[in-house]
Amino acid sequence: MSSPSSVENGAFTSPALKMRRGLAILRRELVGIAEDFWKDGNWESPAPRFKKKEAPLVKSEPAPIAKPAEPKIPRGIWHAAPGEVSEKMWGEGCVTPADEYITDLLIKPLSLTKDMSALDLAAGLGARMRKTSEEYGTYINGREPDPEIAARGMALSVGLGLGKRDSITAYDPLNLVETRKYDCIIARETLYRVGDKKKFIGAIVGCCKPRVQLSFTDYILNSESLNQPAVVAWKAYEKDAQPASLVEMAELWAKAGISLRVHDDQTEYYKKEVKRGLVRFAKFLASGAKPDAETKKAIEKRITTWAHRMAAMEQGLKFYRFYGLK
């Protein structure tokens, strides 16, 4: 293996090798970990540091909402429950970044009441839906593609005495079957992982009331960015990632009778919140958490996934919030 100095001197010049090196550096820069937290070789050797250009601020970018409470340090060896590694990044009960802010963006346009019902297609551990149903009195059914996270989320709802009102069950997006009709559909970063988007959207529309509202977030990839090295690498790593372009997204829903009234680019804010969460996780590890072997693998997977996503966002991948009506 060539030394870091040989890389710096330009010995490797192919785009693929440059991109691979950039990913390794990005991962270390984002979270400040590698050999510092464990010495058993799970992380690659430190790469030379570099200064990244700060992305220009979006004028309408909001200030961060409340800072999540610092995660508690587990006693002894830490064996992470399903979704717990993400919780240490984004906050208790949260498996996605900027959950409180994004929840507000998703929920406020719906004007929810106690007489309405909603279907959450990315319930995660249920923190978002429990907060929403408590605040508005709305009946919410939660669905979660990850069976282990769904089971833990349901256990949390049951433990809070909310098992009936805030239920969470696992589902397959390609085989969505609902027996009731809903006033609202909510989701976070779900459609980009579905291959047959037309079938999934058809199933969603099939469980909607005549004046249904949709509020969701997703990754968007426009044609001009398809062949960017970091984007190609992200899709190769996250093999089920098949994001639509902005035009394709609008057309998919329009053909199903849904008009997307709002498409709001939140990429810059999202990137900053991801970085904050990863730094927060690094501090958590540095404070004395001792993950077992299985948890280390889960950490490695999460960090690598986010490194790929962040690199792809530097080369054209976008994060959008959508609102639609039938």
Give tens-digit pLDDT for 94-110. Answer: 999 998 899 999 999 99
For residue 14, tell me if it sits in a domain: no
User: What burial class does residue 125 get, using C-beta atoms within 10 Å of its C-beta: 0-12 exposed, 13-18 middle, 19+ buried?
Assistant: buried
Residues 280-315 have pLDDT tens digits of 999 999 888 899 999 999 999 999 999 999 999 999
Write down the pLDDT at residue 46: 30
User: Which letter does DSSP use for residue 195 in this model?
Assistant: S
Per-chain mean pLDDT for the chain: 83
Write down the pLDDT at residue 4: 41
pTM attached to this predicted model: 0.80
Instruction: Report how far residue 107's alpha carbon sits from residue 128's, in angstroms, rounded to the nearest whole number.
Output: 10
Write down the pLDDT at residue 166: 85
CB atoms within 10 A of CB 58: 13
Residue 83: helix, strand or coil by DSSP? Answer: coil
User: Which letter does DSSP use for residue 256 in this model?
Assistant: T
Instruction: Report how far residue 87's alpha carbon sits from residue 157's, in angstroms, rounded to the nearest whole number.
Output: 16
For residue 176, tell me if it sits in a domain: yes
Write down the pLDDT at residue 10: 40
For residue 265, tell me if it sits in a domain: yes
Minimal CA–CA distance to 187: which of 153, 148, 151, 145?
Answer: 145
We report the CATH number of the domain holding residue 84 as 3.40.50.150
**Close Cβ partners of 195 (under 8 Å, ≥ 6 residues apart):** 174, 240, 242
Residue 76: helix, strand or coil by DSSP? Answer: coil
Angle of CA points 63, 87, 148, to nearest 5°: 140
Minimal CA–CA distance to 283: which of 77, 47, 36?
Answer: 36
Residues 202-211 have pLDDT tens digits of 999 999 999 9
Mean pLDDT confidence for 246-272: 97
- Of residues 78 and 53, the one with the higher pLDDT is 78
For residue 234, tell me if it sits in a domain: no
Instruction: Report how far residue 291's alpha carbon sits from residue 78's, in angstroms, rounded to the nearest whole number.
Output: 4
For residue 163, tell me if it sits in a domain: yes
Which pair of tokens denotes residue 161?
A: 């005495």
Which pair of tokens denotes residue 293?
A: 């072997």
Cα dihedral: 266, 34, 239, 298 (round 10)? -100
pLDDT bin (cut points 50, 70, 90) of residue 149 is very high
Instruction: Report how far residue 193's alpha carbon sits from residue 264's, in angstroms, rounded to the nearest whole number.
Output: 20
**Close Cβ partners of 301 (under 8 Å, ≥ 6 residues apart):** none
User: Which letter does DSSP use for residue 32 in this model?
Assistant: -
What type of residue sits at position 309?
R
Minimal CA–CA distance to 199: which of 143, 255, 118?
Answer: 255
Question: What are φ and ψ of residue 5, in 5° steps?
Answer: -65, -35
Residue 48 has pLDDT above 50, yes or no: no
Write down the pLDDT at residue 319: 98
Write down the pLDDT at residue 18: 52
Write down the pLDDT at residue 164: 81
Write down the pLDDT at residue 41: 38
Range of the domain at 212: 71-224+241-301+317-326
For residue 28, tell me if it sits in a domain: no
Residues 58-78 have pLDDT tens digits of 344 454 555 566 666 666 799
For residue 11, tell me if it sits in a domain: no
Domain count, the chain: 1
Please answer whether residues 267 and 277 qualify as being in contact, where contact means their C-beta atoms are separated by less than 8 angstroms. Answer: no
- State the residue for tokens 């989701």: 187
Residue 36 has pLDDT above 80, yes or no: no
Which pair of tokens denotes residue 142?
A: 């939660």
For residue 6, tell me if it sits in a domain: no
Please answer whether residues 65 and 91 qualify as being in contact, where contact means their C-beta atoms are separated by less than 8 angstroms. Answer: no
